[in-house]
Structure 1
Amino acid sequence: MSGEQHPLAIAIKPLLDAVGGSAVEVAEARPDDVLLEWDGSPAVAVRLPGLESALDRLLADVKRQFGGGELSELDRAGKQRVVALLEERGAFTVRHGVETVAAALGVSRFTVYNYLNRQQANGKQD
């Protein structure tokens, strides 16, 4: 956003950064942007990211949670925890999710499916 930012835009910046969104001027809002009001007047428009970048954001977030290093350098247990966390967050509902995660972990798709199957089997035993 150009010029002085509205207090609402400043307040929601950490949230937008976390989800990959951005604040735009109300005058530049597109029909698919979310218009936020402040005291009954339009204050800021929020542009949410497309699904195509969702998996990249999930992987970047998990990478930060696991110390910021390459996920492929994690041990087997670490990779299994990554897969479990990504499944909880819906990473495998995205097209090519398994292939993308497998590449990030430095394992085969078959290995990712094994981790998912093992996790599901352990969940049924609880």
Structure 2
Amino acid sequence: MSGRQQPHPLVAAVRPVVDAVGATLVPADDVEGSDVPLIWEGEVVGAVRMPPLHGALDRLIEAVEAELGDSLPRLSREDKQKAVRLLDERGAFILRRAVEDVADAMGVSRITVYNYLNAIHR
């Protein structure tokens, strides 16, 4: 067996969520004040360091593209609607200029994105 230690079960369990939101897992001895500590039976076993807000929309778009298997402009109309729904569910449209930026990334008008959002919220 190698000298590399297995991650704590809690750290291993949260890794998919941490990766999905673009955060970073931090070892227990490197925890800073703004990190979210992972506490197991009263002991800090690691922490989650959230990504900066700058670039958040780009990270959300990249995650949706990975999930749908193609870049936004190359998606079918149905998959573009699904992408907008996923971005909406993940809070992308609370960010300033998100509708315009998503429209640009998809190669559609902002009116199209608003139409997709209106259909979702009906």
TM-score of the two chains, using structure 2 as the length reference: 0.77
Residues 75-99 of structure 1 deviation map (CA, whole Å, 9 limit, x = unaligned): 3233223223322322111122112
**RMSD (Å) for aligned C-alpha atoms:** 2.2
Q: Which runs of 5+ in 2 are unaligned?
A: none
Q: 2:11 touches 2:38 (CA, 8 Å); kept in 1?
A: no
Identity %: 47
Deviations 1:3-48 (A, max 9, x none): 7454133333222112212121233221110122233222112211
Aligned length: 118
Which AA in structure 1 matches 2:30?
E
Bigger proportion of residues as helix = 1
Structure 1 stretches of 4+ moved >6 Å: none
CA distance in 1 between counterparts of 2:117 and 2:97 reads: 15
Q: 1:24 to 1:84 in 2, by over 3 A?
A: closer
Q: Distance in 1 between matches of 2:84 and 2:110?
A: 12
Q: Distance in 1 between matches of 2:85 and 2:17?
A: 24
TM-score (norm 1): 0.75
User: For residues 75 and 102 of structure 1, what CA distance do their matches in structure 2 show?
Assistant: 14
